[in-house]
C-alpha cells in the first residue's frame, strides 16, 4: 500500500487515485468469536500540496463473520468506512501521519481505520433479542 509520491510529482501528477486489496491481520479484529473474511479493499485519492504534505481520502471495505454477540447464531457484517488522513514530512508533527517525502506508505492510516471502523457488536439481524430462555 505504497504511493510513490516523487515519481508522481516528476510526472506532473499532483492528484491521483489508488486501489489496493490486502488481507487484514486476525489480531486486528476486536470482536470475539469473529474473523475477517477474504480481502479488505481500499479505494481513494490523494492530493500533493506545495509544502509536500499529502491529503489522502479513502474508503475501506471488508467483511466480518462470526457469532452474534447476543444470541450466538451465525452473523456477518460488511463494513464500509470513509477516512481522511494528512501525511507530512515533519516527524515532530504528532497530529498527522509521517512520510519521507518520497514514498507514502498507507499502512498506518489503513490499520487505524481498520480499528476505528469495527462495530462494537456483531448481530445476526437488526433488533436481535438474544438467547431465548424458556
Q: Which residues pair with 81 in a beta bridge?
A: 60
pLDDT of amino acid 78: 97
* Measured distance CA(29)–CA(123) in Å, rounded: 16
How high is the mean pLDDT of the chain? 93
Question: Domain residue spans in the chain?
Answer: 2-117
pLDDT classification of 12: cutoffs 50, 70, 90: confident
- What would the pLDDT profile of 14-36 be if each residue is shown by its tens digit? 899 999 999 999 999 999 999 99
Which residue is listed with cell 480499528?
115
The helix (H) or strand (E) run that includes residue 108 is helix 107-117
pTM of the predicted protein model: 0.87
pLDDT of amino acid 134: 65
**Closest by Cα among 81, 101, 100, 104 to 18:** 104
More confident site: 129 or 43 = 43
Amino acid at each position: 500500500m505504497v504511493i510513490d509520491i516523487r515519481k508522481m510529482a516528476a510526472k506532473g501528477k499532483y492528484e491521483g487515485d489508488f486501489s489496493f486489496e490486502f488481507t487484514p491481520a486476525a489480531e486486528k479484529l476486536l470482536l470475539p468469536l469473529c474473523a475477517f473474511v477474504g480481502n479488505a479493499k481500499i479505494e481513494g485519492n490523494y492530493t500533493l500540496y506545495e509544502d509536500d504534505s499529502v491529503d489522502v481520502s479513502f474508503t475501506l471495505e471488508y467483511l466480518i463473520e462470526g457469532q452474534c454477540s447476543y444470541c450466538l447464531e451465525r452473523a456477518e457484517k460488511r463494513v464500509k468506512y470513509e477516512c481522511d488522513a494528512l501525511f507530512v514530512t515533519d516527524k515532530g508533527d504528532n497530529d498527522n501521519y509521517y512520510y519521507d517525502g518520497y514514498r507514502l506508505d498507507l499502512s498506518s492510516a489503513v490499520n487505524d481505520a481498520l480499528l476505528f471502523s469495527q462495530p462494537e457488536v456483531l448481530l445476526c439481524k437488526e433488533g436481535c433479542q438474544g438467547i431465548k430462555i424458556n
